[in-house]
Amino acid sequence: MSSTSFDATDSAATSIDDEDLAQLEAARRLVIQYLNEALATERALVTTLRAHIGMTPVSEYRTVLERHLGETQEQSNAIERRLGELGAGGSLLATGTGFAQTLVGQGLALSKGPVDLLRGKSGEEKLLKNAKDECATEALEIATYEAIEALARAVGDSKTEALARRHREEEERMLGDLRRLIPILTRDAVRALAAGHSTYDAGSTGAAEVLRRARAIATDVTRR
Ligand SMILES: [Fe+2]
């Protein structure tokens, strides 16, 4: 079959020339660059997930968000450790690349948090919009880890390759769970819109629970 299309299963078409030192060096640089990008995204996602959990009532959706918050924090720590082992923990920050990437990530999280709280008409619609945004972030992360996997394999860095594969699998599971929940969140948004009012239980959101716990602790301290 004559075709000019790209065949991802053809390893000759996708691998770098490991006898070309310039290509090897470029791939090594990209491993560090993409690990820094992944770190910035994971850190930003920790902030976003916390904000989303804060506005999500007790539900399967919130359980999924809470699980992924734990995974995201662990992923962030693992990337930081790996960058340290690769001797790039501080070097990229010094050159400004990592710092700029981190700023991009944090800026994203800072700008998204309050916007997420304001937009949408009903609580249900906000949750649906959050889930759609989370899908976009997961897809971006999957692509970044896929690139890191390919680069790490090319330079023979099996530890980074295993890290990227593990993280990608966690993101794929998260994306799958989110996509499974989107029809349910959509149904709830339609019901709220049709009823003209929200049935969204603000009293059982993550933020309300944190507030209740803080009040209980304060009452306890006052009693003592
Ligand atoms: Fe992640």
Residue 13 lies in a domain: no
Residue 155 lies in a domain: yes
Q: How far is the CA of 176 from the centre of ligand 1 (A)?
A: 14
Domains held by the chain: number: 1
- 119 CB-near residues (< 8 Å, 6+ apart): 126, 129
Residue 171 lies in a domain: yes
End-to-end CA distance of the chain: 81
**Could you read off the pLDDT of 72-92 as tens digits, one per residue?**
999 999 999 999 999 987 544
The DSSP result for 27-54, as a single string, is HHHHHHHHHHHHHHHHHHHHHHHHHHHH
Q: How far is the CA of 99 from the centre of ligand 1 (A)?
A: 19
Structure-token pair, residue 208: 């309300």
Range of the domain at 138: 18-223
**Could you read off the pLDDT of 143-189 as tens digits, one per residue?**
999 999 999 999 999 999 999 999 999 999 999 999 999 999 999 99
- Confidence band for 19, pLDDT divided at 50, 70 and 90: confident
CATH number (domain holding residue 164): 1.20.1260.10
What average pLDDT score do residues 127-146 get?
97
Residue 74 lies in a domain: yes
Residue 120 lies in a domain: yes
Q: How far is the CA of 1 from the centre of ligand 1 (A)?
A: 39
Residue 4 lies in a domain: no
Question: Which residue would you say has higher pLDDT here, 51 or 102?
Answer: 51
